[in-house]
Each structure stands twice: as C-alpha cells, then as structure tokens.
Amino acid sequence: YEALGPGCHLHPFNVTIKSDRRGTCRGTFVVHACVGYCESSAFPSKYSVLLASNFKHNITSVSQCCTISKMQKVKVRLQCGGSRREDIEIFTAKSCQCDMCRLSRY
Amino acid sequence: QPPFLLVSSIQLHTFTGCAVREFTFIAKKPGCRGLRVKTDACWGRCETWEKPVLDPPYIEAHHRLCTYNKTRYVSVKLPGCRAHVNPIFTFPVAISCECSMCSTENTECETF
C-alpha cells in the first residue's frame, strides 16, 4: 500500500474473481479497502489491573485500528467462455474509521 | 532502531510508526502512598487495514498496535507503606517498541 498519513482512508485495489462452477468465468474489478494509521499506546498497568490478572498483565495497551465502518454490495459481471456472462455481488468498503481493533488472535 | 520521540514535538500530529515515549504515572498499591514515576513507554500509529473478501466473515483484518518490544523492569520503593505491606512496586520500561499483535500473556488489551 502507498504511504498515507494518520487517519483511516478508503484505498482502491484490484480484485480478480474466478468462478469455478464451469471453470472459466472471470473478471477484475476495483473495490475499496480501508487503510491507515490509528493511534495506540502501551504503558505500565495500574495496580487494579495487575491484581485482576494475577500480576501477569504488567503492560496495558490501548488501541484503535483502521476499520471498515460501512460496506456496500456491488454487482459485477464475470466474462465466461464465448458470450456467456455471470453476474455476482461483491463487497466494497464505503467508509472507514479508526475504531476497535480485532484482537481475536492472541 | 525506532526513534525516541520528543514530547513537545508538533510532529506528533503527523507521526506514523511506533516509538518509545516518555510517560509519567503514579505508582500505587493499597497500604502505601503513591509515587510519581517517569518511565519510557510506547506510543504511535501503526499501519492497519481491513479489506473485503469473498468468503465469510467477508472482512480480512490486519490489526497491529504499538507496544513493548524489548522490556526491562525497574523496581521503586513506595513511600508511607503500612508495616505489613511490601513497599516494592515493579513496572516495565520500554527499551524499544514495535507494531505487533496484543499478547494476552503479559498485556491487558483494551480497544475502543
């Protein structure tokens, strides 16, 4: 991704889709992602946090991450062999904001 | 090595990346008085993104946050502790910081 400043912004990228139902439908489209730099910090934990974590969490991290706040479905047309076509719907980001990080993988 | 940030710097508004930054807090525990402590902690803006994908859950996320990379520990003696209370308070000092996942091993991960 290109260099961006602080904040969380729409960013176009190419997606190539191949439909494998009969093999040969495909198309390349521009959709939007959200990319950016949101604030985060880490500092020594308060005593209450230490106590609650059995003195394991001696660091507290407070963070925001660049997220998709609105998604939109768009209809796109895949070209198959010959003159056959197939319409499908794909998602694109409509708006972005610095918001909760997904901290699912620990 | 990541830079050490100057606290008064106007460039904080435009800074991207993750750096060691001076941080002041009150070291406290029950039965003692608090002690004001200056230390090195981590602050910054990490590159993060979300993009739509074709399959569930339809969003792929790359979320990282600015946290401690290399850490050392410092102990201070809190003032005015009651007789039975251990006056030692130990806290982490950042030697370097990096954009990474939040590790629940040693970190209370808060996001909002």
* B5 occurs within a structural domain: no
Pick from B16, B25, B44: which is nearest to A5 by CB?
B16
d(Cα A88, Cα B76) in Å, to the nearest integer? Answer: 63
Instruction: Please give the tally of structural domains in chain B.
Output: 1
What ipTM does the predicted assembly reach?
0.90
Q: Is residue A105 part of a domain?
A: no
Its sign, for the CA torsion A14, A20, A26, A27, is negative
Give how many domains chain A has, as a whole number: 1
CATH code of the domain covering residue B39: 2.10.90.10
pLDDT < 50 positions in chain A: 1, 105-106
Q: Tell me, yes or no, if A28 comes closer than 8 A to chain B by beta carbon.
A: no
Per-residue confidence (pLDDT) for residue B79, from 0 to 100:
97
The nearest CA of chain A is from the CA of B3 a distance in Å of 15
Q: How many angstroms separate the first and last alpha carbons of chain B? A: 29
pLDDT 10s digits, B32-89: 999 999 999 999 999 999 999 998 999 999 999 999 999 999 999 999 999 999 999 9
Q: Residues of B with CB below 8 A from A47's CB?
A: 28-30
Q: Measuring CA to CA, how many Å separate B94 from each of A104, B27, B37, B70, B80?
A: 25, 16, 14, 6, 28
* Minimal Cβ distance to A35: which of B27, B49, B97: B49
Which of B53, B66, B92 has the CB atom closest to A40's CB atom?
B66
Residues 50-69 in A contacting B (C-alpha not used; CB under 8 Å): 53, 56-68
| pLDDT recorded at residue A54 | 95
pLDDT tens per residue, range A25-50: 999 999 999 999 999 999 999 999 99
Give a yes or no: residue A20 inside a domain. yes
Whether residue B57 lies within 8 A of chain A, CB to CB, comes out as no
pLDDT at B62: 96
Is the model's pLDDT at B2 over the cut of 60? Answer: no
* Within a domain: B2: no
Domain span at residue B58 reads: 10-100
- The pLDDT value recorded for residue A98 is 97
Calculate ∠ Cα B13-B62-B100, nearest 5°.
70
pLDDT at residue B13 in the model: 85
- What's the pLDDT at A105? 46
